Structure 1
Amino acid sequence: MVGAVLAGVVVGCSPAGPVVESPAPVVSEEVGPSPSLTPTPTPTGPVKPERPADMDRTDEVGAAAAATYFLELYPYVMATGDLTEWDAMTWAELCGFCTAVRDQAQEISRDGSSYVGGAVDAEVIKTYALDDLVGGYPLDVQVAIASAVLLDSSGVELDRQEAQSDPYRVELMHDGTTWRLLTVSTEMPVS
């Protein structure tokens, strides 16, 4: 999501009457350089991963880029409740993982809880040819998830997820407009 920056405008006023000069000069002692007024950046929360250009492709390269992007959206979705990209890529009728994550992200947001951490690093380790029966591409993806905590609205820890790294089978199809997730599973078929 692109944030907008609003700039304030300072308007100067000139006095309506004549300007009267002070009879005595004003003297100020300079103690040193004036402090910098540069604002200190503050954390703005999780950043949505950048959509890879290869997602525009409709072949196995595009499928691999889409799978990586989708899985790396996970911590952003959990922390922000922003489901725009997630929903656009989910084939809800087929992807139980996708809808379960959606429901959990909505619950966290609704309860005023916070999901902190859980960065995902997804690496496609094997791509398969187009499955003509399903019309999609199966992929094996190694997914490393950093530890994460779930905090209630007052900052009390409700749950903790330890770091993990597992292979996932991800299946996607291009619907003519965008990539859609059909399945995400830790049950790896023998191939």
Structure 2
Amino acid sequence: MGSQGLHRAAAHARRGVSGAGRRHERGDWGRSWSLGAVALVVGIGVVLGGCSTPAPEVEKTPSVVSEAPSPTSTPTPVPTGPVKPERPADMDRTDEVGAAAAATYFLELYPYVMATGDLEEWERVSLVDLCEFCVKVSADVASQQAAGTTYSGGDVEVDVTKTYPLDTLLGAYPVDVVLSQDASVIASEDGTVIESSESVSGPLRVEVMYDGDAWLLLEVSTNMPTS
């Protein structure tokens, strides 16, 4: 089984250059009306009088309000499993700042690729003809898939310590980092641990190049030049 530690994989690289309604039941308003008229003639004058029986007071049926149950809110799905790292905005730059952002992003891709087997982004950014580290990672993923094993853990934290000017000979930017990686495990389908790696932290040299369209990974190595 191929090694799962990023530092261990990098050690294989030979060079390191540079998202209620309501129902109202209202009672019918009942009304009854009665009217009486009495005519009375007194003396010369005629007095016309009228008495009206007052309308009975109507009792209003109280409104009945039925509260509909509050709608049940749908919980927001929580992502499970490894999450692909976001491409940093600084990768739009083509200078040393862009190089440092690219180097960080490529290293952060490693645990995602190993855990998911998703090599699409990895192969897109790798200079496979020159990058031994890139080939090693792809081979480890293929080996895991063939064996039916799974990778877990291994999250990384990248601290860029120095970004060098463009190496005109290689057309690449060397970037020195200190990479800290959590412990990781490769296990069989029944959960048996086949291989494990303890947490580790150490320096790495990452070489990235901008090809006029995008940043590419040229190499990752534990070989740290003094220059």
* TM-score past 0.5 threshold: yes
Question: What's the CA shift string for 1:82-128, capped at 9, x where partnerless?
Answer: 01111111111111111101110122123221101000111111010
1:117 matched to which residue of 2? 153
3-state SS, counterpart of residue 160 of structure 1: strand
| Percent identical residues | 58
3-state SS, counterpart of residue 189 of structure 2: coil
The count of residues paired between Structure 1 and Structure 2 equals: 158
Instruction: Write out aligned runs for 1:4-19 (5 A).
Output: none
State the 1:144 CA deviation. Answer: 0.5
Q: Which has the higher contact order (CA 8 A, sep 6+)?
A: 2
1:162 matched to which residue of 2? 198
Question: Larger C-alpha radius of gyration, 1 or 2?
Answer: 2
Paired letter, 2:117: G
Aligned mates of 1:149, 1:190 — CA distance in 2: 33
1:61 matched to which residue of 2? 97
State the 1:40 CA deviation. Answer: 8.4
Q: RMSD of the TM alignment (CA)?
A: 1.8
1:46 matched to which residue of 2? 82
TM-score, structure 2 as length reference: 0.66
Q: Which one of 103, 108, 115 corresponds to residue 79 of structure 1?
A: 115
Aligned mates of 1:43, 1:59 — CA distance in 2: 34
1:134 matched to which residue of 2? 170
Contact kept? 1:141, 1:169, Cα under 8 Å: yes
Structure 1: gaps of 5 or more residues:
1-32
The ranges of structure 1 where at least 4 consecutive aligned residues each deviate by more than 3 angstroms after the TM superposition are 36-43
Contact kept? 1:80, 1:109, Cα under 8 Å: no
Q: Which one of 181, 193, 211 corresponds to residue 175 of structure 1?
A: 211
TM-score, structure 1 as length reference: 0.77
3-state SS, counterpart of residue 91 of structure 2: helix
1:144 matched to which residue of 2? 180
Paired letter, 2:124: A
Question: What's the CA shift string for 1:45-98, capped at 9, x where partnerless?
Answer: 100111101111111111110100000011000000101111111111111111
3-state SS, counterpart of residue 171 of structure 2: coil
1:23 matched to which residue of 2? none
State the 1:42 CA deviation. Answer: 6.0
Structure 2: gaps of 5 or more residues:
1-68
Aligned mates of 1:42, 1:112 — CA distance in 2: 26
Paired letter, 2:156: V
Contact kept? 1:117, 1:147, Cα under 8 Å: yes
Paired letter, 2:173: Y
Aligned mates of 2:125, 2:85 — CA distance in 1: 14
